Amino acid sequence: MILNARRFLVCAVLTMLAACAHAGDGPAAPATDKRVALTFDDAPRAPGAFLSEDERTRLLIANLEKAGVDQAAFFINPGQIDTPDEERRVLSYVDAGHVLANHSASHPRLSDTASDAYIADIDAAEEWLRAREGYRPWFRYPYLDEGQQDKAKRDAVRDALATRGLTNGYATIDASDWFYEAAARQAAAQGKAIDRDALRDLYVEAHVDAAEFYDRLARQVIGHSPAHVLLLHETDIAALWIGDLVAALRAKGWTIVSADEAYADPFAGYAKTFDTPSAQGTLTEMVAWQKGVPAPRWYRGNDTRLAQQWFDTRVLHLPSAEAD
């Protein structure tokens, strides 16, 4: 009896171990420690394909609230604020609980601009921002361009930010949402029929796929998932479907956190020091490159040729040959 009982226990343990081994062969369970903050560039942005500027602002605020996003960050270009209405729209984000940060006054590209002129543009934006409620001392490089191969420019701007008490408002996840907005505007201007449901689905899928890609990359580089920062823009597409995107991210195990929490993550330390042959892109990509992780380090949907094919075939329903 005792021998049989022991045999039974051994068999039971072996069965459990085998089950665990087979379970490991299947799809991995979604990680539960994935966190991401939402950030929006280029406010106040020009009209898009579907909404007036006022409609966009109201809808974006409403849908962020409906989705339970308590704090997003808006990276502002004060040089684009030409009217009291545009200023009112920007400040309405603060009234809704969100925060503002510096995206330069006029949106220059550092690799194409003298460092002194670039720093002066940062200062011009700071003049407008520092007196505002909801201000945060973060600077996001336009185009995520930190000087590319010009390390002297890179270091000059890094020093200028440190002197001014500003930190890098980096992104860790990017899916080129600006491209889908531009494609929709072009299609609307050309009188083409836009399948809005398909555009929503493409927007959501691309950003969830990008989030998963960059999180895998981060885990490979630092051994865990940092608090991520998702790069978005103040677009009609975001206003219409940010709730769908948030729901899809949560379904994949993501928690939406504040930008304050994300930029307090230790991963932010890499933004001050990373050293790569070319400085442009997400911080995740830069750190992976520095640590010798082989390509791909870049979400494939950021290839605008591929994104155009997706848009043409899925949203405009063009035949594949015509889309190419």
Instruction: For the chain, list the domains and their CATH numbers.
Output: 34-323 (3.20.20.370)
Q: Are 78 and 105 in contact (CB under 8 A)?
A: yes
Nearest alpha carbon to residue 199 among 214, 180, 215, 213: 180
For residue 76, the one-letter residue type is I
Question: How do residues 158-184 score in pLDDT, each as one tens digit?
Answer: 999 999 999 999 999 999 999 999 999
Question: How do residues 190-201 score in pLDDT, each as one tens digit?
Answer: 999 999 999 999
pLDDT over threshold 60, residue 213: yes
Question: How do residues 271-313 score in pLDDT, each as one tens digit?
Answer: 999 999 999 999 999 999 999 999 999 999 999 999 999 999 9
Question: How do residues 24-40 score in pLDDT, each as one tens digit?
Answer: 323 333 445 999 999 99
Nearest alpha carbon to residue 138 among 260, 267, 282, 285: 260
Question: How do residues 229-264 score in pLDDT, each as one tens digit?
Answer: 999 999 999 999 999 999 999 999 999 999 999 999
Strand partners, 148: 279
Q: Are 230 and 171 in contact (CB under 8 A)?
A: yes
Burial class (CB within 10 angstroms; exposed 0-12, middle 13-18, buried 19+) of 12: exposed
> How far apart, in Å, are the Cα atoms of 5 and each of 10, 16, 208?
9, 17, 50
The secondary structure element, H or E, covering residue 315 is none
Q: Please give the pLDDT value at position 62.
A: 98
pLDDT bracket for residue 324 (50, 70, 90)? low
> Burial letters for 34-48: b for 16+ Cβ neighbours within 10 Å, e otherwise?
bbbbbbbbbbbbeeb
Tell whether omega for the bond before 44 is within 30 degrees of 0, i.e. cis: yes
Burial class (CB within 10 angstroms; exposed 0-12, middle 13-18, buried 19+) of 126: buried
Q: Please give the pLDDT value at position 322.
A: 60
